[in-house]
Amino acid sequence: EVQLLESGGGLVQPGGSLRLSCAASGFTFSSYAMSWVRQAPGKGLEWVSSISGLDGTTYYADSVKGRFTLSRDNSKNTLYLQMNSLRAEDTAVYFCAKGLLITPRGYFDYWGQGTRVTVSS
Amino acid sequence: DIQMTQSPSSLSASVGDRVTFTCRASQGIRNDLGWYQQKPGKAPKRLIYAASSLQSGVPSRFSGSGSGTEFTLTISSLQPEDFATYYCLQHNTYPWTFGQGTKVEIK
């Protein structure tokens, strides 16, 4: 059974940092692209970042480029999102999602339950 | 960035109804589009990939069509568990963009 378990969310002050983790199980982690999608309170879905399973190439939304860093540790079956210089507008539930393919496409077949990030003073 | 516009923003329907809603792209995206269903407080769920292919385990009452700039998602006979918000996502060009969602409510 495929499982994606996010962790690392919480309350952080503006300008602070957090690292989200997504522990994957039930599939060959290294063979699939992985992504983060977020949802601000009462709002729709927003794609944040994706990473290729083929070569680790990363892609970012303009709103997080230069502040967020996506990485993966295939030996630990874990996806990481390092979030720096956090802003109030980064407040959201962050979902980890497994891609259908090894290279990033907007096709996700499994999602985690989400981890909440609140940026506030 | 490619803008994805879903219509309507919400609709009311009854169990058994056939419902169709639309996702329009601000420029051509071939068939690089997926559809997702989300219920309040829950993670999104897979529905459709490549505009018209049903993801594994998704009931056959769901179908997708379209290419280029206009796409549709159809539920042939609405079931109680289908009341949710539906999102399209284009991945033709970075940054990937979601539509704003269509909320399907019980009439």
A positions 6-65 inside 8 Å of B (CB): 37, 44-47, 50, 59-62
Answer whether A33's CB lies under 8 Å from A53's CB: yes
**Of residues A46, A109, A112, nearest to B46 (C-beta):** A109
Tens of pLDDT, residue by residue, chain B (107 residues): 999 999 999 999 999 999 999 999 999 999 999 999 999 999 999 999 999 999 999 999 999 999 999 999 999 999 999 999 999 999 999 999 999 999 999 88
Torsion angle, CA of B81/B87/B90/B95, rounded to 10 degrees? -130
Beta bridge pairs of residue A11: A118
Q: Token pair 């071939």 is at which residue?
A: B30
Distances (CA, A) of A4 to A70, A110, A111, B23, B27: 16, 8, 6, 29, 34
Kindly determine whether residue A105 and residue B32, on different chains, have CB atoms separated by under 8 Å.
Answer: yes
A67-117, pLDDT tens digit by residue?
999 999 999 999 999 999 999 999 999 999 999 999 999 899 999 999 999
Kindly determine whether residue B43 and residue A95, on different chains, have CB atoms separated by under 8 Å.
Answer: yes
Torsion angle, CA of A99/A100/A101/A103, rounded to 10 degrees? -30
Q: How far is B76 from chain A (nearest CA, A)?
A: 22
A9-59, pLDDT tens digit by residue?
999 999 999 999 999 999 999 999 999 999 999 999 999 999 999 999 999
Answer whether A9's CB lies under 8 Å from B57's CB: no
Asked if B90 reaches chain A (Cβ–Cβ under 8 Å), the answer is yes
**Of residues A44, A107, A114, nearest to B100 (C-beta):** A44
CA A76 to chain centre: 16
CA B43 to chain centre: 15
**Of residues B56, B94, B97, nearest to A59 (C-beta):** B94
Give the CA count within 13 Å in the CB-facing half-sphere of B101.
19
B22-52, pLDDT tens digit by residue?
999 999 999 999 999 999 999 999 999 999 9
